[in-house]
Structures are given as C-alpha cells and as structure tokens.
Homo-oligomer: A and B are copies of this chain.
Amino acid sequence: MKNGGNLTFDFCRDEGLAFINIVKESKRGLFLVILANTEIAKIPQISAAGKYPELTDFTPAADAELLLYGSCKCIEGVPVTPEGIPTPAIITRSALKLYNEPIFIVSGGLNVKPHVPFFDLGGQPGRDFRQRPAVERVRETFERGEILGRELSKIFDYLLIAESIPGGTTTALAVLLSMGVEALGKVSSSLKENPMDLKSKVVKEGMKRARVNFGDLSNDPLEAIHHFGDPMMAAALGLLIGAPPETSILLAGGTQMAAVVRALKSMNIDRLENLAIGTTKWIMQDRSSDLKGLMKQIGSIPIITSNIDFKNSKIDGLKAYESGLVKEGVGAGGAVINTIVRSEGKISVKEISTEVENEYLRLIKK
C-alpha cells in the first residue's frame, strides 16, 4: 500500500505502514460497531448527531439499522444533523458494500434499541456526569466486553471497532482530563463550530461534582469512565482487553478513540501493540480539534487517515462534509481504510465516494 492519494499516515508513519500490511494479510476481519447513548448528548448545542437533542437517542439504533438493512426502522429517513446533513453511516455502509466484511453490532447501553440483532453487554445508557457518575456498573459492561473480545478473537485475527454515540466527544474530553491528558480544545465535534466553551464548562461541572481534578484518575481508567465516560468506552475497553495482542485492532473513530486508548494504556500496555486509529481527513484537517496533539501525549499509536472527499460532489448533503460538518462517526474513516487496504488498493476513495452518492440518492428516493 503506497501512501498515495487514498490514505495518509499522519502520526507514527512507520507503525502505520506496518499495521496496514498486517491488515492486508489478515485472514478474517470483523467490523464491530458499539452503540451507546449518553444524556450528555441532550445538552442543547453540544452534538449535531440528531436533528434535535432528543432525537440523538435514536441515532445509534438508526445507524445500525442503516448498516445492516440498508434503511432505518426506528426513524423515518436517516439520522441527520440540525442542518439536514446525513449520518456518516452512509459512508460506512458504502465502503462495506464494496468490500464485504461481516458486521456485528454491540450495545454498550441504549435508550433506543435497534431493530437488528445486536450483542447486549448488559449496560445502561450513560448519565449526565454533572449530576451523578456517568456509567453505573462500568465493570460489568467492561467484563462482558472482555468475554466478547476473547470469543471473537478465536475467530477473527483483525477487528475494526467503530462507535455511534452522540455526545461522545464531550465524555472523551472529561475522561482525558481526569486521566491527565491536556485535551481542552483538542476533542472534535460533529458541529461546524466546535462548542469548546460549552464542553469545557460542562466537563468542569462534572469534575467539580465528582471532586476530581486534572490527572487524578491517571491510573484508574474504570473509575474515569465510571465518573465521566460513556458505555461505548466501557465496551470498547473490554473488547480490547479481551482480545489478545495478536489480534490486530483498528479503532475506527476520531478523538473519542483517544480516550479509549488512554484508558487502555493504564490497563494493559502490551495491548498498545498491533493497534491503530483509523479516521477521516475531516478530523485531521479540523483546526478546532487536535487528535495528533492528543496522541502525542498518550502513546505511539499510528493514525491512519482516509482521504475520501466530496469536494466535487453534486450532492449538497455530502458536500457539506467538506465544510466541517459531521466529520466522522460509525467508523466511516476506518471502513474506507479497510476497503482500500483489504481490496489491495483495487478500490479507491474515488469509487467509494461514487458509491456513497448512489447510496445517498437511493435513500433519498425512499
């Protein structure tokens, strides 16, 4: 795989290229999407992953339905931002359509359950950490994730772990700060204008409530997720710990995955091997966040970027991605990387973006 127009290696380039080679050689891959809700998403102006804050409850379930069925069941149409920009699950679905990997859905804790089969880890939706600890029985969700990771790694030598959780960058900020990562102004946003001040204010309130200061939970990842995180993190951490380091894992997501890696680092440093973050260029080009700046503080985990592009798209809903709306989610970046690498470069970002346009038009017609 050349570092050509399809992919960019933005951080730990050599490790990233090595990881790509491992992925290419992998025999059996699996695309996992962890769904979760958090009450944090319902704070006005904090998330664009739903037309209204209340609708964010439906977004993860609808994303899962779109991936597996090709249309949503729990809502009409597809999840959109307040401006009507469609969910990145369209990108994920298109990429996975061109290179067929099996897809499993995992629930970390949901208010709205998808109308598709999903792995239940017994968790509850995340709560507003300004009032109370965010993830109630974090160890239980973590432990079930661990068993699932163990069972899956008997079958698969390569896992993609994606997420759909509105509000997830704010919980990421809180976990990162509590674990001693300078993350203010560094987590991204599905909104065009990153509401950094609002996020920072919300997180400060939460840390005050829990009487936790910057870095206090540096060595206690489960406590950090319990107080400030979300059920996606508990599930992802369990999966990572349950799967042995021989299993290659691509964390398909943006700055939320930095929080997961930070937690992992305190739990099992060996598992940082054979691990990468796969994301979109919209995350990496964003000036209001800094995934690289986060990872510099956390560890040498390569960041691989997929250069899918809608600059020349005739479809306004997709073109809007170029203005910084949405950016990432449902493993869109990782799914594109996967299709490019697993097809050994035969499928390019160009073909994937054409497929996304077709998929978009098909869904609009519905």
Query: A17 interface residue, CB < 8 Å from B?
Result: no
Q: With A102-B151, A154-B102 as known contacts, state yes or no: A144 contacts B120, CB within 8 Å.
A: no
Among the listed B69, B115, B119, B154, which residue makes an inter-chain contact with A117, where contact means beta carbons less than 8 Å apart? B119
A355 at the interface (CB under 8 A from B): no
A67 → chain B, closest Cβ, in Å? 11
Least Cβ–Cβ distance between A293 and chain B, in angstroms: 35
The listed residue with most B CB atoms (<10 A of its CB), out of A103, A106, A122, A140, is: A122
Min CB distance, A211 to chain B, in Å?
A: 31
B-contact 0/1 string along A141-160, CB 8 Å cutoff: 00011011001101110000
A87 contact set on B, CB distance < 8 A: none
For the complex, give the distance between the alpha carbons of A146 and B121 in Å.
21
B120 touches A145 (CB 8 A): no
Query: How far is it, in angstroms, between the C-alpha of A155 and the C-alpha of B103 when the chains are bound?
Result: 10
A154 to B101, CA, bound (A): 8
User: Which residues of chain A (107-147) have a CB below 8 Å from chain B?
Assistant: 107, 113, 115-122, 140, 144-145, 147
From known contacts A68-B147, A144-B115, infer whether A107 and B120 are also in contact, taking CB-CB under 8 Å: yes
Query: Within 8 Å of chain B (Cβ to Cβ): is A100?
Result: yes
Asked whether, in the complex, the Cβ of A155 is within 8 Å of the Cβ of B120, the reply is no
CB distance B104 to A117 under 8 Å?
A: no
User: Which B residues lie within 8 Å of A209 (CB)?
Assistant: none
In the complex, are the beta carbons of A117 and B145 less than 8 A apart? yes
Q: How far in angstroms is the closest Cβ of chain B from A154?
A: 4
CB pair B122–A119 under 8 Å, yes or no, is no
What are the residues of chain B within 8 A of A154 when measuring CB–CB?
Answer: 100, 102
State which residues 19-49 of A face B: CB under 8 Å: 28, 30
Contacts A28-B155, A102-B154, A151-B103 given; indicate if A120 touches B122 (C-beta within 8 A). no
Q: Give the Cβ gap from A106 to chain B, nearest Cβ, in Å.
A: 8
Contacting pair A147 B102 (CB below 8 A): no
| Distance to closest chain B CB from A136 (angstroms) | 15
Besides A68-B151, A102-B151, 12 more A-B contacts (Cβ < 8 Å) are: A68-B147, A69-B147, A100-B154, A102-B152, A106-B117, A113-B120, A113-B122, A115-B140, A117-B120, A117-B148, A119-B120, A155-B155
Measured CA separation A146–B179 after assembly (Å): 43
A322 to B115 CA separation, bound complex (whole angstroms)? 44
- Among A28, A120, A121, A140, chain B packs the most CB atoms within 10 A around the CB of A120
A178 to chain B, nearest CB (A): 27
Residue of B nearest to A140 (CB): B115
Would you give the 0/1 interface string for A186-224, flagging 1 where the beta carbon is closer than 8 Å to chain B? Answer: 000000000000000000000000000000000000000
Task: Give the Cβ gap from A113 to chain B, nearest Cβ, in Å.
Answer: 7
- Contact across chains for B119 and A155 when beta carbons are under 8 A apart: no
Q: Which residues of chain B have C-beta atoms less than 8 A from A121's C-beta?
A: 117
CB of B100 within 8 A of CB of A116, answer no
Give the residue name and chain of the B residue nearest to A100 (CB): B154
- Complex Cα distance A117/B107, Å? 10
A151 — which chain B residues lie within 8 A by C-beta?
Answer: 68, 102-104, 117
Closest CB pairs A-B (n = 5): A117-B148, A120-B120, A102-B154, A117-B144, A117-B119
